[in-house]
A and B are shown apart, each in its own frame.
Chain A
């Protein structure tokens, strides 16, 4: 059986604005939990665009890829890379962890056009014009919420799955109004009591269902 690759995008641009590694650490731990749940049969590739392009192995089943950035983006969240289509072509499933970065939007465009299964994590944020104006979560195959109450409130025609966790995305850095290159005031603490093991198990189950559905449809 072909090994599965899941591409993770989003949140990482915030690290450039906050000067921390909070987003990277969060996604890495999440990816490690999913990889572990797959018995290390799956690879989770965490992708962003940056000045120093490279790919390296973080741990068993987790790759970190930085794609070469195009031009000079005005804010950290405007970064994009022409190598993104090539990177996404390796993925069996794409999970976008934010709705406010251009790399995520470009990934959504590319992955959807190729009928790759897509998950989008929804945090219930307001004010991110492109996502809300275009209703981009409607392009997801599954919308993932950490908060059951938010999942209940979401007006989406797409399936919504809950991976319960106490998670505050503002602790990783949310973009201030464009074209500010800064974050909104950063919460001092990392997400508390976030159970990566449970979240990884939840995500793994969702991914597996989605991949199975995709295979059935292709057949």
Chain B
């Protein structure tokens, strides 16, 4: 198949798991003999790109807290509109890529920041079939204005946008549809995955009396519960536990988190190691340098790739009771789940250190099930089948590319006019 992949970012330019997963899938599809072309944004820092990656999209970087916080409200609103609704330049780039590459199917990833609604609208208009990997609630994000979902967009999305969705968990679908944004077409849940060869079974697990080595990786923010983990460390100390360490890998953009270990006097136990490549992290897990992967993330977490990778090597996940990856793994069988509080986390860690919880059986079961059911090789046939099915779907009326571009320009102008008008009204009020 000829597959055109659309993603807001693409490694080595990445923020989180969404785009890392995208690269893994692209590499997997290429290895299986498909012709794949990636269309993504110009990188935020200079980087090399292979021939199959076109970095022509313009990303409205709504992840850039520095710029977002310092922008005037009107500038921010206009940027937000362009980020989610319509960016005519990106529609032009997409149309050009469709002409040059002539794909059988388009594989959509994270479209936030690209004027994603306009891109999807363009594909609908040109009757180009698509499959959308939902590693987060992207359709919902695209129907928002600020924090609010616009009912008219939600309704029209459900009515007009029809294709194949592959969400990573049911909670992604539930969160999207709870706001009135209906996913029309085929919806098939598919978890995230691990890569590589099945390693030899981990022989050695934590034993009481040893140092409990806790790790976490990802965005070092409050939404990921990193503050809870540091607070749990302080609680453990209060309860007389000193023989543990918490290693944290990822960028720390939140100063209130960066300062927390010092403020809670757990600097000797908690260490920030900064950004670490996926390969380096896996190497840590392979060497069994950690006993527990702490994942006290928010409950809306769509999935969680980092804990899955750790658990594949016998590092037991201690996770928020209810989150995306929790739909796929069973408490006390493949992982440990706890309420999302520092006290609950501390209870679990203390239970392990006392020997009340034996990590060995849990780690072995999780590792076995992950290498069997969550390996990309096991999931790839389902992805290929979904792409092939979409490519075979009978197509509706096909619009002209020139018209699609005109529509995008019209949409961008109308959106901007409405945002400006609201701003004038707000100022007047």
Contacts and interface: CB of A to CB of B under 8 A. Distances in A.
Interface of A: 70-74, 78, 80, 82-83, 85-86, 89, 102, 105-106, 108-110, 112-115, 130, 134-136, 138-139, 217-218
B411 A71 contact: no
Contacts of A73: 421
Of the candidates A83, A106, A134, A138, the one having the most CB atoms from chain B within 10 angstroms of its own CB is A134
A105 B124 contact: no
Q: Which 6 A-B pairs have the closest CB atoms?
A: A82-B152, A115-B397, A72-B425, A85-B156, A109-B410, A134-B409
B407 A109 contact: yes
Contacts of B155: 85-86
Contact of A217 (B397, B402, B421): B397
Contacts, number: 67
B397 A134 contact: no
Contacts of A89: 159
A106 B414 contact: yes
Interface string B112-134: 00000000010011000000000
Contacts of B73: none
Interface of B: 121, 124-125, 150-152, 155-156, 159-160, 396-397, 399, 402-403, 406-407, 409-411, 413-414, 417-418, 421-422, 424-425
A134 B406 contact: yes
B397 A71 contact: no
Contact of B124 (A71, A85, A110, A113): A113
Given A139-B403, A218-B397, A105 B418 contact: no
B152 A113 contact: no
A139 B418 contact: no
Nearest to B408: A109
B410 A136 contact: yes
Given A70-B418, A114-B160, A134-B413, A139 B397 contact: no
A109 B421 CA distance: 19
Given A113-B125, A218-B397, A108 B159 contact: no
A132 B336 CA distance: 63
B397 A113 contact: no
Nearest to A112: B407
Contacts of B402: 138
A135 B403 CA distance: 10
Contacts of B413: 130, 134
